[in-house]
Structure 1
Amino acid sequence: MSHSISKQVRPLLHIPNSNTNLLRHGPQKEKVVVVMGATGAGKSRLSIDLATRFAAEIINSDKMQVYQGLDIVTNKITDEERCGVPHHLLGVVDPESDFSAANFRAMASISLKSILGRDQLPIIVGGSNSFIEALVDTSFRSRFECCFLWVDVAMPVLDSFVSDRVDKMVERGMVSEVRDFYKPNGDYSKGIRRAIGVPEFDKFFRIESLCDDDETRARILAEAIDSIKSNTSQLARCQLEKIHRLRNIRGWRMHRLDATDVFRRRGGEAEAAAWENTVAAPGAAIVSRFLYDLEPAICGGVTAVRGTARPLMATAYSY
Structure 2
Amino acid sequence: MATDSLPSGKDKVVFVLGPTGSGKSKLAITLATQFNGEVVNSDKMQVYDGLDVITNKVTDEESAGIPHHLIGGVHPDADFTASDFCREAMHAIDSILQRGHVPIIAGGSNSYIEALVDGEGGVFRSRHESCFVWIDVDPSLLHLFVSTRVDKMVEMGLVEEARSEFHQDGDYSKGIRRSIGVPEMDGYFRMEASVDEATRARMLEAAITEIKFNTCKLTCNQLQKIHRLSTLPGWDVHRIDATGFFLKRGREGEAEAWEKVVAGPGKEIVNRFLRGKGASGAVQKNEGKYVNGEADKAVTNGIKERSEV
Does the TM-score normalized on the shorter chain lie above 0.5? yes
Give the AA of the match of 1:255. H
Listed one character per residue, the Cα deviations across residues 169-200 of structure 1 (whole Å, up to 9, x for unaligned) are 00111101111221111100000000000000
User: Does residue 214 of structure 1 match 2:232?
Assistant: no
Listed one character per residue, the Cα deviations across residues 37-62 of structure 1 (whole Å, up to 9, x for unaligned) are 00000000100111111110000000
Matches within 5 A, 1:79-90: 79-90=60-71
Query: RMSD in angstroms over aligned alpha carbons?
Result: 2.1
| Aligned residue in 2 for 1:39 | 20
Listed one character per residue, the Cα deviations across residues 251-308 of structure 1 (whole Å, up to 9, x for unaligned) are 511110111111111114412111110110110011111001148xxxxxxxxxxxxx
Of 104, 112, 131, which aligns to 1:123? 104
Give the AA of the match of 1:259. A
Contact 1:59 / 1:108 at 8 angstroms: preserved in 2? yes
| Aligned residue in 2 for 1:284 | 267
User: Aligned with 1:146: secondary structure?
Assistant: strand
Listed one character per residue, the Cα deviations across residues 146-174 of structure 1 (whole Å, up to 9, x for unaligned) are 00000000101101001100000001111
User: Aligned with 1:201: secondary structure?
Assistant: helix
Contact 1:22 / 1:294 at 8 angstroms: preserved in 2? no
Of 178, 186, 198, which aligns to 1:202? 186
Matches within 5 A, 1:124-143: 124-138=105-119, 139-143=123-127
Give the AA of the match of 1:202. D
User: Aligned with 1:31: secondary structure?
Assistant: strand
Q: Percent identity?
A: 55
Closer/same/farther in 2, CA of residues 225 and 250 from structure 1, 3 Å limit: farther
**TM-score with structure 1 length normalisation?**
0.84
More helix by share: 2
| Aligned residue in 1 for 2:33 | 52
User: Aligned with 2:132: secondary structure?
Assistant: strand
Contact 1:262 / 1:274 at 8 angstroms: preserved in 2? yes
Mapped partners of 1:246, 1:27: distance in 2:
22
Stretches of structure 1 that go unaligned for 5 or more consecutive residues are 1-19, 296-308
User: Does residue 293 of structure 1 match 2:268?
Assistant: no
| Aligned residue in 2 for 1:98 | 79
Stretches of structure 2 that go unaligned for 5 or more consecutive residues are 286-309
User: Aligned with 2:80: secondary structure?
Assistant: coil
| Aligned residue in 2 for 1:160 | 144
Mapped partners of 1:314, 1:263: distance in 2:
17
| Aligned residue in 1 for 2:289 | none
- The structural deviation recorded for 1:27 is 4.5
User: Does residue 271 of structure 1 match 2:254?
Assistant: yes
- The structural deviation recorded for 1:26 is 5.3
Listed one character per residue, the Cα deviations across residues 187-237 of structure 1 (whole Å, up to 9, x for unaligned) are 0000000000000000000011222x1000000100000000000000000
49-58 vs 286-295, greater mean Cα deviation? 286-295
Contact 1:62 / 1:128 at 8 angstroms: preserved in 2? yes
Report the structure number with the largest CA radius of gyration.
1
Contact 1:105 / 1:135 at 8 angstroms: preserved in 2? yes
Detail structure 1 runs of 4+ shifted over 3 Å in the superposition.
20-27, 312-316
Closer/same/farther in 2, CA of residues 294 and 155 from structure 1, 3 Å limit: closer
Mapped partners of 1:21, 1:219: distance in 2:
63
User: Does residue 240 of structure 1 match 2:223?
Assistant: yes
Closer/same/farther in 2, CA of residues 251 and 245 from structure 1, 3 Å limit: farther
Matches within 5 A, 1:183-194: 183-194=167-178
| Aligned residue in 2 for 1:224 | 207
User: Aligned with 2:170: secondary structure?
Assistant: coil
- The structural deviation recorded for 1:249 is 4.2
User: Aligned with 2:34: secondary structure?
Assistant: coil
Mapped partners of 1:245, 1:314: distance in 2:
20
Mapped partners of 2:225, 2:283: distance in 1:
26
